[in-house]
Amino acid sequence: MILTRNYKILNLNNRVILHGSARFLTKKYDPTVKLFGREYPTDEWTNVNKSIQDKLERKLIHQKYHPLNHLANKIKHFFYKTYINRNGNPLFTIFDNFSPVVSVEQNFDSLLTPKDHVSRSKKDCFYVNRNYLLRAHTTAHDNELIRSGLNCFLTFGDVYRRDEIDSKHYPVFHQCDGVRLFDKNELFKDKALEMDIFDKDEAGIKRTFEKQEYYTLDASKIVEYDLKNTLTKLVQFIFGNNCKLNMKWVSATFPFTHPSWELEIEYKGNWYEVLGCGILEQKILTNAGAENHIAWAFGLGLERWAMILYDIPDIRVFWSTDEGFLSQFKYDDPTHSKITKYKQVSVYPPCPCDISFWLPDKTDSYEYNSNDFYDLVREVGGDLVEQVTLIDNFENKKTKKISHCYRIIYRSMERTLSQSEVNELHKKIEAKAKEQIGVQIR
Ligand code: PHE
């Protein structure tokens, strides 16, 4: 709870943020907080609450058939197939399992975020204590990965921000960050050109809106082109080559890149920021031991992409455990090209009812097929049936008869269904299945 606050309006990454020098009423925390089996002492910075801790376990991008899992797989596939090294191996190393608990050093200092930068505020981040927080972006891993010697990598993960509450913002979301380093040989493949990454003309070296002081304009422009080209191709791959999406590059500011841009996509008449990117600050490369390189970096929000791709109107939907939502994405997608459009799930409660029957014996002219039953349910139940799934299938060894059990979920888009209404409908389905398909209700 906030006692006093002097509001200042700051513009960070094109987003207006209310920044206050606030004094917080200290909420009582236990002396330690346990995250992923490790205990952290709490202090006056601690503000990770129980509800956010519950989210740490969900791992939505690893949940098979979740739309964020489909999207992450598509992005991975794009980089694996498009960027191959001389030996035929993927150029980009992909990480998707780093712990979201990171140090203040990883999340901010290693990325040159000034000590008094708004993004560090307790108001915007979930702090475990003064030294650790739940990462606010997957960029937090860039420094270490560069230091470990990687030149091309992607990091996927859940990120945490205390934010406004609406259909587009949620305290947990998912990002994918990418980085690519180039040395002189990679950048200027045509050696005859005699070009350099670094500007040797010390006198005239200045930072401009186009480039950092260290680099030649040629080097900076080539890397900018490669970055924008990579991301444009990624957008085309994800949203389908022939879909007509309007895109625009908007110049931006981040503490860790210069120059920097955001990519905006037009969707249903509004422009949405879908990623931030830029040329990585040379100082970050130098600190990580890669001083003779130049690099681009980007970070994209998976929910934003998925909302546009699958027509999902509200970010809370991703956290739903409702089968009405999850079942819409239950498909294998070996070519990573399938795009399903989401159908709004009803806000009224579901009423599940099971039906079990022996299948009719196979004859020369008829063999039972589940689709016959599905059609019949549709015919009788209409839009009051949300879903039908085969939940049990067995054969009686003696009689050789096969039994199926289906779960029918009844749910209306307009109202709460009464149990008697559902029972009546269910009985009609039983009767019709007996009469039309010849099943024997058990
Ligand atoms: N980390 C930035 C964000 O979360 C995105 C970004 C990543 C921008 C890398 C530039 C380079 O908004």
* pTM assigned to the model: 0.80
126 C-alpha vs ligand 1 centroid, how far in Å? 18
* 170 contact partners, CB below 8 Å, separation of at least 6: 163, 303, 315, 316, 318, 319
In this structure, the residue with its CA closest to atom 7 of ligand 1 is 299
Measured CA distances, 78 to 63, 83, 180, 423 (Å):
20, 8, 15, 49
**DSSP-derived 3-state class of residue 22:** coil
pLDDT of amino acid 346: 82
With a 6 A CB cut-off, is 160 part of the ligand 1 pocket?
no
Cβ neighbour number for residue 309 with a 10 Å cutoff: 22
* 331 contact partners, CB below 8 Å, separation of at least 6: 65, 338, 340
Q: What percentage of the chain exceeds 70 in pLDDT? A: 92
pLDDT of amino acid 204: 63
> Taken in order 72, 157, 56, 116, is the CA torsion positive or negative?
negative
pLDDT of amino acid 13: 35
With a 6 A CB cut-off, is 67 part of the ligand 1 pocket?
no
Query: Please, which pLDDT band fits residue 111 given cuts at 50, 70 and 90?
Result: very high
| Mean pLDDT to the nearest integer, 317-329 | 91
- 283 within 8 A of 253, measured Cβ to Cβ: no
Our separate counts of H helices and E strands in the chain read 11, 19
Q: How far apart are the first and last CA of the chain?
A: 59
Q: What percentage of the chain exceeds 90 in pLDDT? A: 70
pLDDT of amino acid 202: 67
**Structure-token match 């130098």, residue found:** 286
**Local structure of residue 272 (DSSP, 8 states):** E
With a 6 A CB cut-off, is 155 part of the ligand 1 pocket?
no
Residue in 177, 180, 302 to alter for ligand 1 test, most ligand atoms within 8 A of Cβ: 177
Query: Please, which pLDDT band fits residue 240 given cuts at 50, 70 and 90?
Result: confident
- 143 within 8 A of 106, measured Cβ to Cβ: yes
Residue spans per domain, the chain: 1-30, 60-329, 347-442
| Closest ligand 1 atom number to CA of residue 138 | 1
- Counting Cβ atoms within 10 Å, is residue 274 exposed (0-12), middle (13-18) or buried (19+)? buried
pLDDT at 233 over 60: yes
| Tens digit of each residue's pLDDT (9 = 90 or more) over 115-126 | 999 999 988 999
Q: 60-329 sits in which CATH class?
A: alpha beta
425 C-alpha vs ligand 1 centroid, how far in Å? 53
Query: Please, which pLDDT band fits residue 5 given cuts at 50, 70 and 90?
Result: very low
How far is Cα 282 from Cα 288, in angstroms, rounded to an integer? 10
Helix (H) or strand (E) holding 428: helix 419-437
| Tens digit of each residue's pLDDT (9 = 90 or more) over 408-427 | 999 888 889 999 999 999 99
Domain 347-442 grouped into CATH 3.40.50.11290: no
pLDDT at 164 over 80: no
- DSSP secondary structure of 141-176: GHHHHHHTT-SEEEEEEEEE-----BTTB-SEEEEE
